Amino acid sequence: MKMRTMLILTLLSVGLLLAGTGIAGAGVIVSTGVPTTATLQGVNTLSVTPMIYAAGSAPSISFGTVSSTVSFLVPAQYVRVVHNDNSLAWEIKIHTNNFGVNVDTWDPYDPAKYGVTPATATWGFQYGGMKGSPGAKTPMGWHARVDNSLASKFAAGDPAATTSVGWNFVKDHADRDDPSTTVDTPPIGVVKDESYKGANGKASYANVAYGGPGYQNVVNPQDLIDYSDPDTDKTFVVEVEGCFGSAPADTYSTTLYFDLVHQ
Ligand SMILES: [Ca+2]
Ligand SMILES: [Ca+2]
Ligand SMILES: [Ca+2]
């Protein structure tokens, strides 16, 4: 090889080497950082107020004296719910607790606890709604809306037809699984568990709303896409109804609870 050719090749090699170094120089050579922390204070507030349709607040929900011919009745009051929670995932659940059970330790599946109050022979397996004398109960339904106040009532309907009427049954903390119903339809093959714990994960049953930082959804069983409507603020309303058609004449009462729960 001639000296001139060798010189050219050498120069080319150095050029390529420099070019290669140039490419390597575009990547990260050193990476270092500054530790950064913040503790965002948690906020977990929930308040509920009975409101009269198209008017101000009320001390309670009162159905008054109900005619024996009435099957489903929406009272003169609804409930305004104001919430604020910045946890990763929260839910607001509606329920009664007519027998004062501790839902964290209550086992609706343990047969040994059948016979302990509430006795199924007297009260059956579902206790949500209002309670009268032993064995007398008036189931209740709930319907939630993203509105912050209401001027008119949602049409009463049988909560058993959830998606067509928009109402859900109010669950009780002591609700047990009814062993006579085993399979839900639809979807076929899903175990039909009516206990409060079984219904726990079903958004359209005990949950009235859920969300996380920056968003909140109000449950709406008539939205067949995701059973919920996005709310633009932290206030919504829950309407209730009494299902008197299956109840005997009596005087009924309960406390309607709203629980803020973190998932
Ligand atoms: Ca709202
Ligand atoms: Ca069942
Ligand atoms: Ca939706």
pLDDT tens digits along 205-251: 789 999 998 999 999 989 989 889 999 999 999 999 999 998 999 99
Task: Tell me how far the alpha carbon of residue 179 lies from the centroid of ligand 2, in angstroms.
Answer: 5
Candidate ranges 57-66, 113-122, 155-164; pick with highest mean pLDDT: 57-66
Q: Which ligand is nearest to the Cα of residue 232, counting in written order?
A: 1
Residue 261's closest CA among 210, 226, 221, 196?
210
Whether residue 55 is predicted with pLDDT greater than 50 in this model: the reply is yes
Q: How far is the CA of 244 from the centre of ligand 1 (A)?
A: 30
Ligand positioned closest to the Cα atom of 108? 2
* Average pLDDT for the chain: 85
- Give distance in angstroms: CA of 215 to centre of ligand 3: 13
Ligand number nearest to the C-alpha of 223: 3
Burial of 229 (0-12, 13-18, 19+ CB in 10 A): middle
Judged by its nearest atom, the ligand closest to the C-alpha of residue 125 is 2
- Which three-class secondary structure state does DSSP give residue 80? strand
* Per-residue buried b or exposed e for 118-151, using 16+ beta carbons within 10 Å of the residue's own CB: beeeebebbbbbbbbeeebbbbbbbbbbbebebe
Residue 71 CA to ligand 3 center (angstroms) comes to: 30
Tell me, in angstroms, the distance from the centre of ligand 1 to residue 85's CA. 15
What pLDDT score does 199 carry? 66
Burial of 260: CB neighbours in 10 Å, binned 0-12, 13-18, 19+: middle
- Give the pLDDT confidence score for residue 187 in this predicted structure: 57
Residue 13 confidence (pLDDT) above 50: no
Sequence ranges of the domains in the chain: 46-63+71-262
Provide the whole-model pTM.
0.82
The ligand minimizing its distance to the Cα of 179 is 2
Nearest ligand by distance to the CA of 220 = 3
108-157: per-residue pLDDT in tens? 777 676 667 788 889 999 999 999 999 999 999 999 999 999 999 999 99
Q: What is the pLDDT of residue 186?
A: 60
CA distance 65 to 246: 16
Cα-based distances in Å from 252 to 51, 139, 182, 215: 20, 11, 30, 37
What is residue 219's predicted lDDT score, i.e. its pLDDT?
A: 93
Q: Name the E strands within the chain.
A: 44-52, 72-73, 77-85, 90-96, 130-131, 137-138, 140-145, 168-169, 171-172, 183-184, 190-191, 207-212, 215-219, 228-231, 235-243, 257-262
